[in-house]
């Protein structure tokens, strides 16, 4: 039977279902057609807006309060977004005033905690606005079942990942988890990253952290992310370490088994050689 | 270590060392501010450029920016320096060298002969006192031609790396992007995948797949999976078909150590690639990626400015007769190159410096979403690099890398450069495109075929 005629400017449109990549865009002359051009510009605009969206810490604080959770607002040494973007070193440490605030809090609440939860805008406040509450709800359900203790949720403006270690250290926390907005991709402006450190202290490198990436509706679910974090927490306490020496074994095994086996087959190669 | 001073009018500027002059003479960029090596203000910057212009090129052979004793890249640079080739410019200052490069004395032949006589530091120095048009004009004189299954870098040609990345390495998804790219005439530099997973089984499977596609459609190109050089060696040991051996490199021993490599490991990778003897036209088979800021981000820059560190990486590259070197200029982020202006300048510097050293330069004309840059900036850099005679650029569906989350040049962008500048693909690939009925190019203009190539029509029919 004759197939329906294909779009002469775009005869391989059906490939689109095989990948989220921007394939089969068609062409006008040799250039991008208007629709594809503006779709791209909108995606970039969304990503840019996510980078520059101010952190609505008051909104998150209110939501936490409604759930009976206290929070504490801190600021990194980066005074604004421009200095944050150009000086990653400043985003990795607390401002003097915030360090003092935290010290005073720790003195008033001695004894330390199991887990310090830190929420920072990072490169996408949008991610933090969207995912903080639902993710923390899932996490804390599972945490209380395990009997872990936690401090007030620490909210940080203009924060980078490593600032969590300073906060954890000042709080006397056994572990710290940082919820932070990841660098927005063109099709993922709201991806949340989780960074976990056992025995946090100033000066640790990435090698001492574990990362759970891509937490968002189209990516890793809240439940799965919480599950992985709890797994890391239990293993970290058992082995008293985090980072490269504490790999997420469950995840590694899944990835290994998913790849390698059936990689060679695809439509460019499968056809009968008639 | 020499101290330098320069007086302009009533003001005298002092610089501690050659390293200090070089850093302060660098056109402003965020990474040098981050490192604390940049000029304090614009006046000091130009004074440093004036001081640098007066320094004899021969001084660069006396004062190493990073000590010979502690850095194998410095040792490579000094030990492999060709004094005879250098003789033609050995009497010049940095400023005199700029004048010479722009003069008629510097042509394709004389610049090719000079390349082994130049050190990266000399080349970086002269680039710092050159404007954008100087960087374009001199680079345009130079051709660095390399061969594997295709011939890259010929005058009037521009090649593309087809980059069919997929967030989970799904074979059908990768194949879909490959076909999209081929049908838009991309892929003569290579089909090169950045894998999402680094397991050896997955890498080997991707290499097998690329080899099968290239063979089945008889495409005069080469395949690459961008994994660590030691993983490529392991794949070769397992008997997997591998064309190009990839590695990220940097300009200091300590930065390379942070990548888990040194010159010996690169040599092992090069030897392993050569042992397969897979190139039909030549045996240039190393594929290196670099980028300003990589040494600083590994805290391995020794107080040297990022552009000079980058140029030193090209000395590492040229030692292994690479097929292509790619400066991934805007990938690293705004803490190193803040905005479109800085990215554009850096891309042109890297291309110029690499070419002057005899390296087959390409550029990943790119940016991330937290940089102050957009598609207009990339169009500008693409146009300038096209005029400057760049060997290759990336080609990706709709500029959007859905695995690495950044934006680079699209399949369509390469077509734009062909249309406006009359640049053709590598000759072997040009012939293949014509045979397949994808497109032909006459008087610069690209003319697409009216129908899908039968072989690909058949493949699409598989999808039902």
Identify the bridge partners of residue A210 per DSSP, sorted by sequence position. A196
- Do the chains contact at B402 and A270, CB–CB below 8 Å? no
Q: What pLDDT is stored for residue A94 in this prediction?
A: 98
- Do the chains contact at A27 and B184, CB–CB below 8 Å? yes
Substitution target in B181, B370, B396, B455 with the highest count of A β-carbons within 10 Å is B370
- Do the chains contact at A263 and B208, CB–CB below 8 Å? yes
What is the 8-class DSSP label of residue A200? -
Phi/psi of residue B69, nearest 5 degrees: -70, -30
Q: Is B205 on the interface with A (CB under 8 A)?
A: yes
Q: Which of A15, A30, A265 sits opposite B171 (nearest CB)?
A: A265
Q: What pLDDT is stored for residue A273 in this prediction?
A: 46
3-state class (DSSP) for residue B439: strand
Name, in order, each residue with C-beta under 8 angstroms of B428's C-beta and a sequence gap of 6 or more: B149, B150, B151, B188, B220, B281
Q: CA–CA separation, B449 vs B436, rounded Å?
A: 9
The predicted model gives A36-50 an average pLDDT of 96
Q: CA–CA separation, B66 vs B337, rounded Å?
A: 23
pLDDT tens readout for residues B87-129: 999 999 999 999 999 999 999 999 999 999 999 999 999 999 9
Q: CA–CA separation, A162 vs A169, rounded Å?
A: 11
Substitution target in B333, B373, B398 with the highest count of A β-carbons within 10 Å is B398
Matching CATH number, A51-248, of 3.40.1160.10, 3.40.50.720, 3.40.50.11240, 3.30.420.40: 3.40.50.11240
- Kindly list the structural domains of chain B, giving each domain's residue range(s) and its CATH number in brackets, ordered by start: 4-141 (1.10.220.70), 146-448 (3.20.20.70)
Phi/psi of residue B88, nearest 5 degrees: -65, -25
What is the 8-class DSSP label of residue B156? T
Identify whether the C-beta of residue B156 lies closer than 8 Å to the C-beta of residue B366: no
Chain A closest-CA separation from residue B405 CA (Å): 5
With bands split at pLDDT 50, 70 and 90, how would you rate the model's confidence at A258?
very low
Q: What pLDDT is stored for residue A270 in this prediction?
A: 82
Q: What pLDDT is stored for residue A65 in this prediction?
A: 96
- Mean pLDDT, chain A, rounded, equals 89
pLDDT tens readout for residues B323-346: 999 999 999 999 999 999 999 999
Q: What pLDDT is stored for residue A248 in this prediction?
A: 58
- Do the chains contact at B369 and A47, CB–CB below 8 Å? yes
* Interface predicted TM-score (ipTM): 0.95
Q: Which of B197, B368, B462 sits opposite A255 (nearest CB)?
A: B197
Phi/psi of residue B73, nearest 5 degrees: -70, -40
Binding residues of B for adenosylcob(III)alamin, by number, are 195, 247, 297, 403
Q: CA–CA separation, B396 vs B365, rounded Å?
A: 11
Chain B closest-CA separation from residue A94 CA (Å): 18
Q: Which of A12, A51, A86 sits opposite B338 (nearest CB)?
A: A86
Q: Which of B399, B452, B458 sits opposite A271 (nearest CB)?
A: B458
With bands split at pLDDT 50, 70 and 90, how would you rate the model's confidence at A260?
very low
Q: CA–CA separation, B78 vs B205, rounded Å?
A: 41
Binding residues of B, by number, are 161-163, 194-195, 247, 289, 297, 364, 403
DSSP-assigned states of every residue in B159-191 = EEEE----TT--HHHHHHHHHHHHHTT--SSEE
Q: CA–CA separation, B358 vs B356, rounded Å?
A: 5
Task: List per-residue pLDDT tens for chain B, 464 residues long.
Answer: 679 999 999 999 999 999 999 999 999 999 999 999 999 999 999 999 999 999 999 999 999 999 999 999 999 999 999 999 999 999 999 999 999 999 999 999 999 999 999 999 999 999 999 999 999 999 999 999 999 999 999 999 999 999 999 988 999 999 999 999 999 999 999 999 999 887 899 999 999 999 999 999 999 999 999 999 999 999 999 999 999 999 999 999 999 999 999 999 999 999 999 999 999 999 999 999 999 999 999 999 999 999 999 999 999 999 999 999 999 999 999 999 999 999 999 999 999 999 999 999 999 999 999 999 999 999 999 999 999 999 999 999 999 999 899 999 999 999 999 999 999 999 999 999 999 999 999 988 999 999 999 999 999 988 86
**Residue bearing tokens 């004793």:** B69
Q: CA–CA separation, A26 vs A48, rounded Å?
A: 26
Among B residues 157-196, those touching chain A with beta carbons less than 8 Å apart:
164-180, 183-184
Phi/psi of residue B286, nearest 5 degrees: -85, 140
With bands split at pLDDT 50, 70 and 90, how would you rate the model's confidence at A111?
confident
Identify whether the C-beta of residue B142 lies closer than 8 Å to the C-beta of residue B410: no
> Over 50: is that where the pLDDT of A4 sits?
no
3-state class (DSSP) for residue B152: strand
Lowest average pLDDT, out of A10-19, A245-254, B103-112, B447-456, goes to: A245-254
């Amino acid at each position: 039977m004759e197939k329906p005629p294909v779009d002469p400017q775009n005869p391989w449109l059906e490939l689109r279902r095989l990948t989220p990549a921007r394939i089969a865009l068609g062409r006008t002359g040799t250039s991008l057609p208007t629709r594809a051009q503006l779709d791209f510009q909108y995606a970039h605009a969304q990503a840019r807006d996510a980078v520059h969206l101010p952190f609505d810490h008051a909104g998150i604080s209110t939501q936490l309060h409604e759930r009976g959770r206290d929070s504490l607002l801190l600021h990194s040494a980066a005074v604004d977004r421009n200095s944050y973007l150009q000086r990653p070193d400043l985003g990795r440490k607390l401002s003097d005033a915030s360090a003092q605030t935290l010290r005073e809090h720790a003195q008033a609440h001695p004894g330390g905690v199991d887990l310090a939860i830190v929420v920072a805008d990072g490169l996408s406040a949008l991610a933090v606005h969207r995912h903080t509450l639902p993710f923390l709800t899932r996490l804390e359900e599972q945490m209380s079942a395990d009997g872990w203790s936690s401090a007030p949720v620490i909210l940080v403006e203009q924060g980078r990942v490593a600032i969590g270690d300073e906060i954890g250290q000042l709080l006397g926390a056994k572990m710290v988890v940082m919820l932070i907005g990841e660098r927005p991709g063109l099709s993922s402006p709201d991806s949340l990253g989780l960074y976990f450190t056992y025995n946090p202290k100033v000066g640790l490198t990435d090698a001492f952290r574990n990362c759970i990436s891509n937490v968002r509706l189209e990516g890793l679910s809240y439940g799965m992310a919480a599950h992985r974090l709890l797994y890391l927490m239990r293993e970290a306490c058992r082995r008293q370490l985090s980072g490269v020496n504490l790999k997420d074994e469950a995840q590694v095994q899944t990835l290994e088994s998913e790849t390698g086996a059936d990689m060679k087959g695809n439509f460019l190669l499968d056809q009968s050689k008639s | 270590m020499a101290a330098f001073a320069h007086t302009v009018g009533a003001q005298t500027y002092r610089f501690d060392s050659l390293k200090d002059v070089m850093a302060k003479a660098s056109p402003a960029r965020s990474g040098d501010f981050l490192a604390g090596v940049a000029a304090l203000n614009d006046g000091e910057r130009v004074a440093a450029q004036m001081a640098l212009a007066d320094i004899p090129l021969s001084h660069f052979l006396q004062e190493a920016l990073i000590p010979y004793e502690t850095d194998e890249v410095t040792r490579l640079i000094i030990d492999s320096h060709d004094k005879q080739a250098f003789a033609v410019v050995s009497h010049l200052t940095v400023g005199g060298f700029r004048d010479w490069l722009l003069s008629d004395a510097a042509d394709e032949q004389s610049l090719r002969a000079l390349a082994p006589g130049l050190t990266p530091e000399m080349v970086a120095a002269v680039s710092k006192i050159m404007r954008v048009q100087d960087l374009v004009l001199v680079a345009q004189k130079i051709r660095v031609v390399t061969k594997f299954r295709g011939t890259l870098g010929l005058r009037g040609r521009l090649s593309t790396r087809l980059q069919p990345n997929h967030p989970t390495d799904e074979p059908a998804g990768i194949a879909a992007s490959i076909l999209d790219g081929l049908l838009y005439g991309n892929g003569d530099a290579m089909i090169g995948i950045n894998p999402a997973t680094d397991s050896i089984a997955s890498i080997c499977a991707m290499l097998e797949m690329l080899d099968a596609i290239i063979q089945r459609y008889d495409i005069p190109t080469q395949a690459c999976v961008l994994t660590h050089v030691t993983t490529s060696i392991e794949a070769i040991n397992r008997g997997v078909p591998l064309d190009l051996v990839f590695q990220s490199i940097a300009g200091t021993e300590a930065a390379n150590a942070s990548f888990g490599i040194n010159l010996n490991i690169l040599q092992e990778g090069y030897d392993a690639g050569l042992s397969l003897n897979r190139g039909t036209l030549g045996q240039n088979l190393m594929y290196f990626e670099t980028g300003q800021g990589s040494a600083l981000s590994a805290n391995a820059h020794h107080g040297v400015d990022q552009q000079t560190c980058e140029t030193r990486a090209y000395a590492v590259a040229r030692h292994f007769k690479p097929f292509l070197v790619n400066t991934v200029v805007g990938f690293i982020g705004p803490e190193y190159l803040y905005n479109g202006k800085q990215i554009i300048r850096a891309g042109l510097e890297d291309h110029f410096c690499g070419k002057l050293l005899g390296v087959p330069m390409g550029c990943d004309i790119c940016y991330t979403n937290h940089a102050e840059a957009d598609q207009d900036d990339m169009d500008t850099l693409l146009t300038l690099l096209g005029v400057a005679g760049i060997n290759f650029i990336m080609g990706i569906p709709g500029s959007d890398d859905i695995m690495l989350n950044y934006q680079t040049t699209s399949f369509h962008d390469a077509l734009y450069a062909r249309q406006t500048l009359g640049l053709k693909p590598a000759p072997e690939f040009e012939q293949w495109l014509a045979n397949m009925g994808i497109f032909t190019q006459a008087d610069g203009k690209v003319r697409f075929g009216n129908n899908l190539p039968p072989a690909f029509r058949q493949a699409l029919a598989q999808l039902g």
